[in-house]
Structure 1
């Protein structure tokens, strides 16, 4: 449950974001709840920088980009505990396996995975693996992937602020609703970093990310009337795939 601390930002929010979105061994106090969500993009940056270490080392000794991309992807999934992938699978099963809000939420809560979830996971892994392999051949791959990692997680915060909770329990509900100021600050931080990383393409990536946040929010509102932790995970995955594809296209022009 969120505390009465109404301060918009606290340095310890970074630890909270890392503890919530990663499996990194950090100590955190979850009493700030969703007020710490502005730091989600920083958690994404930490994951990207750590994943870059083995990836760069393996590329340096001659590992082909297609295999180095698999190393990157594996590192990101392991360090995040596959929580975003789990959210994508549950959301795909619920949104397209149920006929009304109640049934969709019931399916999303079920720990079993259905056909929609399996297909969504397979497509997500294939899409990211292929796009990352292409980007690893570019000189700015690390900076581009850093921007994608931050923006995709900042989008989770935007959806948290835009939509009410779809159910009265669960991880997202326990954290509370992210303040709009914090959500916009976290997104701006990711956008500025994206521009610093890759220049003009970073501005385009930021714009695409904002559009994806709006689309994910609109879809969740129609399907279940709000957001859940699974919806936030799906938002991260869908945004990441879209940004990776966008970055591949932009690599041909910049």
Structure 2
């Protein structure tokens, strides 16, 4: 977290003003996009209040999916082929988020080398990337690019763009699951500082993400059974990471949340592909 962040203050009483402020703060937290201060926003660099921000996370995910979808569509329009289009889309997503989730995946994978809970948490704090982390990053990027390229070849640019947007909302909501259902593993750090989202707020966000995925998928021409499996595997990935984190470090961290987002994204792409035959 930036040392310049201020403490969270109250938001305006207007409902839509409050939603827009939450969305702006969510985008600032999850991306490197230059989100300007809103005219009615008192503290644009306030510490994120996750009990509030979680409700708009699916909307932030949709917004974060726009640039990768446009990059993929541009590559296809230029006839660069599905693989270059997929590489460009994943690259743009990684740059847009500042490799935010990828960093969490790498740190979580590196923690496999720790023999004790305390050692695993120390490894997660270390900014250096080890062998496990590098391997996890390589495999995750390969899975995402390969799955997206395969999806493009089996469908078209419109369907693939719909999948990018829907999965961007689903996987970030899945990334909340360890934060919601497990206590912080440390009494300091980002996951403890931003607060634990209430379960009712999470279920609202999950419903919103699911509705967005279904609507976008249907409009994009994706098979309904593929959309359902995409959603189911995203949720199962989140549940699996809850079980893993509880056993691994008896709690959750921001790195665990980032790793969950990456795994949920890959699982959702695989679920979609299983139901879309060549």
Whether the 8 Å contact between 1:93 and 1:113 is mirrored in structure 2 is yes
Q: Displacement, 1:208?
A: 1.7
SS of equivalent to 1:107: helix
- Is 1:19 the counterpart of 2:40? The answer is no
Point out where structure 1 has 5 or more consecutive residues left out of the alignment: none
Point out where structure 2 has 5 or more consecutive residues left out of the alignment: 1-6, 38-43, 219-223
Which residue of structure 2 lines up, in the alignment, with residue 157 of structure 1? 176
- 1:95-110 equivalent positions in 2, closer than 5 A: 96-110=112-126
Aligned length: 251
| Larger Rg belongs to | 2
Structure number with higher helix proportion: 1
Which residue of structure 2 lines up, in the alignment, with residue 227 of structure 1? 252
Q: Deviations over 1:9-48 (max 9, x none)?
A: 9311111110000111113453551121222222221121
Q: Displacement, 1:221?
A: 0.7
Q: Structure 2 residue aligned with 1:204, among 222, 229, 234?
A: 229
Q: Displacement, 1:3?
A: 5.3
Q: Structure 2 residue aligned with 1:37, among 54, 59, 72?
A: 54
| Distance in 1, Cα, partners of 2:145 & 2:234 | 20
Q: Displacement, 1:54?
A: 2.3
- 1:22-101 equivalent positions in 2, closer than 5 A: 22-26=31-35, 27=37, 28-31=44-47, 33-35=49-51, 36-94=53-111, 96-101=112-117
Taking structure 1 as the reference length, what is the TM-score of the superposition? 0.93
Q: Displacement, 1:124?
A: 0.4
- Is 1:117 the counterpart of 2:133? The answer is yes
Q: Quick one: higher RCO (CA 8 Å, sep 6+), 1 or 2? A: 1
Whether the 8 Å contact between 2:229 and 2:272 is mirrored in structure 1 is no
| Segment of structure 1 superposing worse, 32-41 or 221-230 | 32-41
Which residue of structure 2 lines up, in the alignment, with residue 214 of structure 1? 239
- Structure 1 segments, 4+ long, off by >4 Å, are 1-5
Q: Displacement, 1:159?
A: 2.0
| Distance in 1, Cα, partners of 2:212 & 2:90 | 21
